[in-house]
Chain A
Amino acid sequence: GAGVSQTPSNKVTEKGKYVELRCDPISGHTALYWYRQSLGQGPEFLIYFQGTGAADDSGLPNDRFFAVRPEGSVSTLKIQRTERGDSAVYLCASSLGGRATDTQYFGPGTRLTVL
């Protein structure tokens, strides 16, 4: 079956611009997570959705970052006024029910480069 998909796979933008990153989770998965992975590091949590609501956004670094999941399926991570420090791979993951024992399935990521 289809896995988690993310678009675009690569995004190059200029400092100060606005970007949107899209995640399409596995069908039927109610839990959706966004992570950010910097070079040589493990992924770091950004935000968690259970259904349509953001149940935990404690990992968002500042108010330039925002994410939505209006219909409980596709999610969009939005970054305003991008900075060079935002350059990283942004990963999306989904799981069946958002429980501790659930496996999270990761997408291939979007590599964001801010010039």
Chain B
Amino acid sequence: GDSVTQMEGPVTLSEEAFLTINCTYTATGYPSLFWYVQYPGEGLQLLLKATKADDKGSNKGFEATYRKETTSFHLEKGSVQVSDSAVYFCALSETTSGTYKYIFGTGTRLKVLA
């Protein structure tokens, strides 16, 4: 079945550092891809999404490009802030069953130090 693999955390960076969180997927159909963020004590929030190959999603300085040839959707940010400390989840919407349920990765915890 479909699956999502994320890089293991935790990732610890200094403020203003460059961030990459790797995400690769396997899917039999043509899924949409998502990044969700979970701040401490809060629920899952959509960060960005891309619905077809070569689409770039962006929000709050974060970007990710849907790469069909490498089955990847890596999350990047040029300069992280302490307020970006959170757990980041990569997800795809599974298309073969017709339900479009999400398949999530295990999450990557990011800690940004001042």
Contacts and interface: CB of A to CB of B under 8 A. Distances in A.
Given A103-B49, A105-B46, A107-B43, A42 B106 contact: yes
B104 A109 contact: no
A106 B43 contact: yes
Interface in B35-75: 36, 42-46, 49, 51
Interface in A23-41: 31, 33, 35, 40-41
A45 to B, nearest CB: 4
Interface in A69-112: 91, 93, 95, 98-109
A88 B106 CA distance: 15
Contacts of B93: 100-102
A2 to B, nearest CB: 14
A43 B102 contact: yes
Interface majority SS (helix, strand, loop, mixed), chain A = loop
A26 to B, nearest CB: 13
Interface string B71-104: 0000000000000000001010101011111111
Q: How large is the interface on B (under 10, 10 to 19, 20 to 34, 35 or more residues)?
A: 20 to 34
Given A106-B43, A109-B43, A100 B102 contact: no
Nearest to A42: B104
Interface residues of A, number: 29
A108 B20 CA distance: 27
23 contacts: A33-B102, A35-B102, A40-B107, A42-B89, A43-B44, A43-B89, A43-B102, A45-B102, A48-B99, A48-B101, A55-B99, A56-B97, A59-B101, A98-B99, A99-B100, A100-B93, A100-B95, A101-B51, A103-B46, A104-B46, A104-B102, A108-B42, A108-B43
Interface of A: 31, 33, 35, 40-45, 48, 55-56, 58-59, 91, 93, 95, 98-109
Interface of B: 4, 30-32, 34, 36, 42-46, 49, 51, 89, 91, 93, 95, 97-107
